[in-house]
Structure 1
Amino acid sequence: MIGEYKFYASSNELQDKEKIVILYHGWGGSSKGYMELAEEMAKEGFIVLIPDIIYHDERKPLENHFDSIVTRKYFWNTVLQTIDEFDEFVRVVGLKKKNIILVGNSMGGFIANGIFAMNPNISGLVSINGSGSFVLTEKTFRLRDKREGMTQEEENQLKKYDPMDKPSSLSPVLLMHGDSDTIIPIEGQENYYKYLTQEEKRTNIEWEIFKKVNHEFTPAMMEKLIGWLKSI
């Protein structure tokens, strides 16, 4: 079961729209918590869908997402399962991938990056305070928390989904991150940007660092997101 989704639009039409935003929320968040952002995008003419994510909302919600043991056990499982569910979600809702723009914040940024890397027909990606470099980010998590390194099995599992070294869609990408983020290390996003621009030689990639911003989705980030969506 892929669960429910929230639907926001300035029109009741869903089929054959040129730009449909699929918005993924962060760890421990809720689709309801993104209503304001979704409504702002809808005012600009975008259809916005917010999928319910496993272990959140009505889908086997965890009692305390921010308990460190719970986070370590379920974070990557949540990211990878949501990536796996994407094709079924698109089929059930009846969308065309070429019309989809992926937007994700925090954990949602990981999810959006992972989906983008596996679907060359997607029209665009916005990753906010997330990461497109899964293995590097997990290694950074463990160093920061003074934990053991990954086993080879754990690393191989992440590599299957890691956007690094995967030829992705040639569509435009916007990456945003606070330079003082203490939750999701900025290094993962920087590494992915370097991969796209240096290895893939992509020229339609924007990388914006927000000064003195911790793990937040600020009004300035929202303004940049809306402007970017309207420009592509």
Structure 2
Amino acid sequence: MKEIVSKSFVNHIYNQGQSSREKTIIIFHGWGSSVNNYVELAEYFSSLGFRVIIPEIIYHDTRNKLENHFLKEVTQEYFWKTIFKSIDDSTLFFEELGVSEKEVILMGVSMGGFIASGIYANGNNFAGLININGSGSFLLSEKIFRENDQRPDLTGEELNELKAYNPIGKSISYTPILLMHGEQDTIVSIEGQKDYFNFLTECDANYDVVFNVYKDVNHSFTDEMLINLKQWLEDKF
């Protein structure tokens, strides 16, 4: 069953009957993607007993959608704006949904992984975090983006803004975290995910963090990833 709720945000909600696990998975999609690309995944998680919500992200779908996300200058101008705005909006987002953090598993794919990690780092009661082919190390990832595009280094102002949102350096609650990444990812380097994993495990070896690396996988979500994700959800929730 799908319901569209519209207040300040447009959310697509999937809940097949009673949510037996009493947890809500919120899925943040990737750059240039759409809610529509995640319907099948949402319905699958719903069939496992989770309530699933896919929020429309600024500059996508009905929220001032950009004409061409993949023009290099468009990506460079709006990628981080989208992430920061989504993190900033999250408090109001949860208030309007009437969902408590302790019931929420944040999940993000690619850009959505950046968003989910940023929101998770600002909270203290989320049930869990799933970051697929994204990054929780904003500074390192942006440095790699710039190196790949042969752009100048960050200005002081840009550096300070990224530091303010960067999950690295912020306290993390002791709830399960799953990081998944294709080893050959040419879009979002796995190095950002590695850096975030190292931060989490070096802070405290007791953090419940799993980092799965997929050999010979580029920037994609594979069947093997889905199988591993399902097993992780079964084990933890």
Scaled by the length of structure 2, the TM-score of the pair is 0.94
SS in 2 for 1:103: strand
Mapped pair 1:8 → 2:14:
yes
Answer yes or no: is 1:22 the counterpart of 2:29.
no
- Residue matched to 1:99: 103
Q: Are 1:131 and 2:129 an aligned pair?
A: no
2:149 to 145, 152, 157: 145
Q: Secondary structure of the residue that 1:228 maps to in structure 2?
A: helix
What is the CA RMSD across the aligned residues, in angstroms? 1.4
- The separation in 1 between residues aligned to 2:114 and 2:207, in whole angstroms, is 22
Shift, 1:10, TM fit = 1.9
Give aligned-pair identity as a percent: 47
Deviation track 1:164-212 (CA, whole Å, cap 9, x = no partner) reads: 0100121010000000000001100000000000123334100000010
Residue 82 of structure 1 aligns to a residue whose secondary structure is: helix
| 1:118 aligns to 2:122 (yes or no) | yes
- Equivalent positions of 1:1-232 (< 5 A) are 2-11=8-17, 18-232=22-236
Query: Does structure 2 conserve the Cα–Cα contact (< 8 Å) formed by 1:17 and 1:99?
Result: no
- Partner SS, residue 48 of structure 1: strand
Answer yes or no: is the 8 Å Cα contact 1:124–1:171 preserved in 2.
yes
Aligned length: 230
In the TM superposition, residue 12 of structure 1 has moved relative to its aligned partner by 5.7
- Take 2:86 and 2:17, find their aligned partners in 1: how far apart are those partners? 27
CA distance in 1, matches of 2:174, 2:148: 34
> Which ranges of 4 or more aligned residues in structure 1 deviate by more than 3 Å?
none
Q: 2-side partners of 1:51 and 1:33: how far apart?
A: 12
Q: Aligned with 2:25: secondary structure?
A: strand
Residues 54 and 82, structure 1, Cα contact 8 Å, conserved in 2: yes
Q: List gaps (5 residues or longer) in structure 1.
A: none
Distance 1:18 1:45 in 2: 8
* Matched residue SS, 2:125: coil
TM-score (norm 1): 0.96
CA distance in 1, matches of 2:12, 2:21: 17
Distance 1:17 1:206, change over 3 A: closer
How far is the alpha carbon of 1:57 from its aligned partner? 0.2
Amino acid at match of 1:207: F
Secondary structure of residue in 1 paired with 2:206:
coil
CA contact 2:113–2:130 (8 Å) conserved in 1: yes
Question: What residue ranges of structure 2 are gaps of 5+ in the alignment?
Answer: 1-6
8 Å CA contact 1:176–1:221 kept in 2: the answer is yes
Distance 1:160 1:53, change over 3 A: same
